[in-house]
Amino acid sequence: MTETARNNRPLVAIGWMLTTGLLFVGVTATVKFIGDGIPAPEAAFLRYLFGLVFLIPMIRPMIRAGMNRNALGLFTLRGVTHAFGVMLWFYAMTQIPIAEVVSIGYLTPIFVTIAATFVLKERLAARRIIAVIIALAGAMVILRPGIREISGGHFAMLTNGLLFTCSYLIAKIMADRAPAGVVVGWLSIIVTIVLAPFAIAVWVWPTPEQVAWLFLVAALATAGHYTMTLALSAAPVAVTQPVTFLQLIWATMLGAIVFSEPVDGWVLFGGTVIIGSVSFIAWREAVLRRRAVTPPVVATKL
């Protein structure tokens, strides 16, 4: 099989992306189930602490990589921004419905598209500008400022998107300098270190059951990033991106059936508009055969 054929298996890619979506919905459901019994900084810290177990195979490649001071500085900056973004995500999960967390999370690739014009000197063509404007309009449909109250959970998710944008762009830069496993490994270590003092400040001793649930969160998140990698290696982002829309449907059903959250048609519509815009941008990048900048939605998950 040729290299092109190996990288163009859409059905395989869609299957892996469906699996990825289910795994991340599992992450969301588990965190929602834990609720605010554990403070957000502590829950975020434990998720990453337990996640280090899955990164043991990365220790040797990280040592061999031999990062210089500049690279370590970028890794540290990424870890700090990502850590604060993760804390805000855990906080939002205790404040607003699952469907709203997922829908607003779709904005991160849009933020990346905008920021890439300044950081990576990407050209923002007219079609991309229109797609970005439509996506932002979708966000307004979800938030509906002036019509309903915008809570701290909504602001937390918007800020989370900006912080994850910074994290992703640094990862994009470092991907050209170090293997992917090294980039992921340093992120996990630094995020754990940054979260530690915040967790200690609000520490509540978790029950064995809560520890088990948070370990499950770490396992599901790790597996989700792995299956996402398999999906992206089988087909371009333009193929896999639209599949992430199903995650919104699953999250909405989960919130309604398991957590008795009302189904908000405006949130579903706004989320659909955003993911449609993100998918269009990814498709244009593939058509123009340019360096892909707009990430798949799941690439900006915790």
Question: Three-state DSSP class for 88?
Answer: helix
- Report the pLDDT averaged over residues 130-148: 91
Reported as type and span, the H/E element at residue 158 is: helix 152-174
pLDDT-derived band at 138 (thresholds 50, 70, 90) equals very high
Q: Which tens digit of pLDDT belongs to each residue from 23-76? A: 999 999 999 998 888 999 999 999 999 988 888 887 777 777 777 788 888 889
Distance CA 199, CA 253 (A): 32
pLDDT at position 7: 55
Q: Which tens digit of pLDDT belongs to each residue from 160-185? A: 999 999 998 888 888 777 777 788 88
Closest CA to 163 of 229, 224, 112, 93: 112
- Does position 1 have pLDDT exceeding 50, yes or no? no
- Does position 131 have pLDDT exceeding 50, yes or no? yes
Question: Three-state DSSP class for 85?
Answer: helix
Sign of torsion, CA 40 56 296 257?
negative
- Report the pLDDT averaged over residues 195-207: 95
- Does position 22 have pLDDT exceeding 50, yes or no? yes
Residue type, 65: A
CA distance to 46, 256, 293, 299, per residue, from 134 (Å)? 37, 27, 19, 21
Give residues with Cβ within 8 angstroms of 21, minimum separation 6: 243, 244, 246, 247, 250, 298
Contact 228, 296 (CB under 8 A): yes
- Does position 203 have pLDDT exceeding 50, yes or no? yes
Strand runs (DSSP E) across the chain, as ranges? Answer: none
Question: Three-state DSSP class for 135?
Answer: helix
Q: For residue 246, count CB atoms less than 10 angstroms from its CB and return exposed for 0-12, middle for 13-18, buried for 19 or more.
A: middle
pLDDT at position 190: 92
CA 124 remoteness from chain centre: 23
pLDDT at position 2: 44
pTM: 0.88
Kindly report the average pLDDT of the chain as a whole number: 87
Q: Which tens digit of pLDDT belongs to each residue from 245-257? A: 888 999 899 999 9
Distance CA 298, CA 301 (A): 5
Most confident range, picked from 77-81, 147-151, 242-246: 77-81
pLDDT at position 3: 44
pLDDT at position 290: 67
Q: Which tens digit of pLDDT belongs to each residue from 211-237? A: 999 999 999 988 888 888 788 778 777
